Structure 1
Amino acid sequence: MRATIDSDTAWDAFTRRDRAFDGHFVVAVRSTHIYCKPSCAARRPRRENVAFLPDAAAARAAGYRACRRCLPDSVARDREAVIAAAALLTSDVAPSLAALAASVDYAPHHFHRLFHRLTGVTPAAFARTCRADRVLAALRTTESVTAAIYAAGYAAPSRFYADAARLGMTPQAAAAGGADEVIHWTCLIAPPGALLLAATARGWCRFAFDEDGAGLHATFPAATLRRGDPAWRAGAAALVSCAAAVPSDVSLPRPVRRTAFRTLLHQSATAIG
């Protein structure tokens, strides 16, 4: 079990069937010689009959066998599948859900639920964030907005314009480094790390980890940058809190978690309005 989780915390997670702890430890039941996920749906044993072990390998070494109901040995496989899928979704042409699921040997509907449960977002939403990152870069290096759209992996301009609000400015302004835009910004701490949030009068234009005002200026050198006032920062903090409230697997690699969290920020911004 990870050093940050004590037996009381583990027992509480087990009694609540908290999926967020799956993969962080396994629950070994002495009376049945079975080990389970924390989220197992089976009836809870007495606490004195329970031991918390680091992983399935430790449980097997101690003489326990896997629960046939919750299939605790599948946790590592599920996580690896999501990590592999996330890598594919960052490619220039993201695969369809059917192709994505087939690449990791899962049924599409089941994998959609699995990806959402571990990351907090759907594969399609994750892919949109990756495309938005690429289109911002492409706008600065290609000769036209249309060329940038296709270079970023959009199948058609209409697909891009459905996501264009993420720029927080017109594509032409983004291509010109934020020309004529006033951008307010702040840095806050989010679950995956230090986060910069920036917005124009049109809306949020940048969510970036491990970035400060200098990094924002490098992205939008022609814009006027201003630190957000207390009221503005309170709104940014509310947005971060909204995204942080969505459960996800904190043991996923940091790049995957950060892309998923930025996706949640965009979704929360749309929901809050």
Structure 2
Amino acid sequence: MTVTTAAPAAYACDEARWQAVHDRDVRADGHFCYVVTTTGVYSRPSCTVKLARRENVRFFPTPEQARAEGYRPCRRCYPDDSGRHAVAVRAVARACRIMDEASLPPSLDELARKVGYSRFHFHRMFKSFTGITPHAYLAAARARRVREALPRSGTIADAVYSSGFNSGGHFYAAATEILGMTPKAYRAGGDGAVIRYTVAGSSLGPVLVAVTDKGVCGVLTGDEAPALLHQLHGMFRQALLVRADGEFAAAVAAAVREAEPPQLGRELPLRVRRVALAVRVRRAVPAVCAPHG
């Protein structure tokens, strides 16, 4: 049974409700639901589904009233069942722990089975909650491990195989995308590299983005910008670090805004949401951010 409180003044009129839907305002959840008449589906105000046209949207005080008129619940935000939503959150969080800790990458079928879902349902649910696919999260976990292992392993090969890559060729094909420089240079603390960096704000705290002439070499997230800069200096102690100019900073800020995580996953552990944000930032930072010369 869905418990819905009386709508506060902030959501008392359709104009305010539409603004809440437009903003995917999580504070509006539980105060009303909305229906897209062209699909026949009703959703929470914060649902991350593609925004419908205003003329195709109706509002109802409760999901029960929408259902009574023949509309059906959204399969992305579970407007009728907060318990089901909580179960999904726990499943996604558990899947992330499995991927973080796995010495060998699990298959999607294996991962879905371990958290109690079918392959198709799990894949769709994971992306809805994190904004990235399980494969992208797994790749990020493996990339994190190899970045951590390179400076302290006996050889580059040791770092590669201990991080879950099944072949050196597989790693080297992705090395520039993962490291933003050669493995040898990364292992040597960025020796000889010129790295530009900037910090942008996000809903999860500051995000530091650093690039070389080859691509992105770091996306760091945390609570305070000075701590992120200290971390960057520790990673690339032999590189020349240069604070970015306004054009670069503006491009990164736009990329971070574009990469904001779905509201649907707001109850996931902060660490998981920051990993997903970093993955999306790496994709969103345009190639022109990297200096050429």
Q: Which of 126, 131, 136 is the aligned partner of 1:115?
A: 126
CA distance in 2, matches of 1:138, 1:124: 21
Matched, 1:25 2:30: yes
Q: For structure 1, which runs of at least 5 residues remain unmatched after alignment? A: 30-35, 53-58, 60-66
C-alpha distance in structure 1 between counterparts of 2:16 and 2:44, whole Å? 8
> Is the counterpart of residue 189 in structure 1 residue 189 in structure 2?
no
Q: Aligned partner of 1:206: which letter?
A: G
Instruction: Say if 2:199 and 2:209, in contact at 8 Å, map to a contact too.
Output: yes
Maintained 8 Å contact 2:200/2:253: yes
2:158 is aligned with 1:147: yes
**Normalization by structure 1: what TM-score?**
0.77
Q: Which residue of 2 aligns with 1:33?
A: none
The residue correspondences of 1:52-201 to structure 2 (distance < 5 A) are 69-70=73-74, 72-73=80-81, 74-91=84-101, 92-164=103-175, 165-201=177-213
More divergent stretch after superposition (160-169 vs 95-104): 160-169
In structure 2, the partner of 1:38 is: 44
Q: Is the 8 A contact 1:25 1:37 kept in 2?
A: no
Residue identity in the other structure for 1:7: Y
> CA–CA distance in 1 between the matches of 2:140 and 2:29?
28
SS in 1 for 2:259: helix
Distance 1:168 1:15, change over 3 A: closer
Amino acid at match of 1:224: L
2:265 is paired with a residue whose SS is coil
| 1:22–1:38 CA contact under 8 A, matched in 2 | no
Partner SS for 2:206: strand
Distance in 2 between the 1:12 and 1:242 partners? 22
TM-score (norm: length of structure 2): 0.72
Report the AA paired with residue 80 of structure 1: R
1:24–1:271 Cα change, 3 Å: farther
CA distance in 1 between partners of 2:29 and 2:139 (Å): 29
CA distance in 2, matches of 1:120, 1:232: 24
- CA, structure 1 residues 209+69, in 2 after alignment: closer, same or farther (shift >3 Å)? closer
User: When the two structures are aligned, how many residues end up with a matched partner?
Assistant: 248
Change (3 A) 1:246 1:68: closer
Superposition deviation, residue 138 in structure 1: 0.6
Residue 204 of structure 1 aligns with which residue? 216
- The whole-number CA distance in structure 1 between the counterparts of 2:100 and 2:16 is 35
- Partner letter of residue 215 of structure 1? Q
Q: Distance in 2 between matches of 1:23 and 1:177?
A: 48
State how 1:208-227 maps to structure 2 within 5 Å: 208-210=220-222, 211-227=227-243
Q: Separation in 2 of the partners of 1:123 and 1:259?
A: 12
- Quick check: 2:151–2:189 contact (8 Å CA) kept in 1? yes
Moved more, 224-233 or 242-251: 242-251
CA distance in 1, matches of 2:31, 2:182: 50
